Amino acid sequence: METITPRKLTLSDIADVRAYEREREQFRTHVIELKRRRRVHLGTIITFLFENRDTIRFQIQEMARVEKLTTDEDIQVELDIYNPMIPESGQVCATMFLELTTDDQMREWLPKLADIENRVLLVMSDGTQVRAIVDEQHEQGLTRENVTAAVHYLRFEFSPEQVEAFASGGVQLRIDHPAYLEAVELSEATQAELLNDLR
């Protein structure tokens, strides 16, 4: 019988600091390659990283390492924050980054792009659209009426029919915000990664 790995992370998935140091170099190399296939640039200032179990485990392990989190309670807090970003079957999850590096850019773009987190969609070749849902847990801390945040956590929920439309290829990631109308076709490598998440 094939055992299916649960998608969400538990305390037992997070190595303690010494154990993580032993695997870190190899795991880091794996995640860098994974992120290369799962990162999508859209327009001039927005990047999406489509998350999965390994990208989120890496995030938690690195935070635990830097912040010296050693207790189960501390690690559980991180698990509670980041586990919603691991896609379940029929889902794709992404972190959207507004790549703004100066105060001037932030003052210009964050008010201009208010509500952009609600204007992200995946469009299949047959015209089927799946609009992103802002992660409820992070929404309260990030969403403002007249200004947006530099980071957003998004989830796309697919019906079985929409998954099949995605599988047939030619998928676009699109933003239909009036101040940032952009679209990009996903690479075959990215589509393959996301189809794996969906199935």
pLDDT, tens only, 50-81: 999 999 999 999 999 999 998 999 999 999 99
3-state secondary structure of 72: helix
Our count of domains for the chain comes to 1
Q: Domain span at residue 53?
A: 11-198
Beta bridge partners of 134: 154
**Domain assignment present for 88:** yes
In this predicted model, what pLDDT tens digit does every residue of 149-168 receive, in sequence order? 899 999 999 999 999 999 99
- Which helix (H) or strand (E) segment is 129 a member of? strand 129-131
Query: Is 72 within 8 Å of 10 (Cβ atoms)?
Result: no
Which pLDDT value is given to residue 136?
81
Which pLDDT value is given to residue 116?
94
Query: What gap in Å lies between CA 51 and CA 89, rounded to an integer?
Result: 13
Average pLDDT value over all residues in the chain = 93
In this predicted model, what pLDDT tens digit does every residue of 96-152 receive, in sequence order? 999 999 999 999 999 999 999 999 999 999 999 999 999 887 666 665 678 898 999
User: What is the DSSP code (8-state) at residue 108?
Assistant: H
Nearest of 135, 16, 139, 28 to residue 74 by alpha carbon:
16
**Domain assignment present for 3:** no
**Domain assignment present for 6:** no
User: What is the DSSP code (8-state) at residue 125?
Assistant: T
Question: What is the residue type of 150?
Answer: A
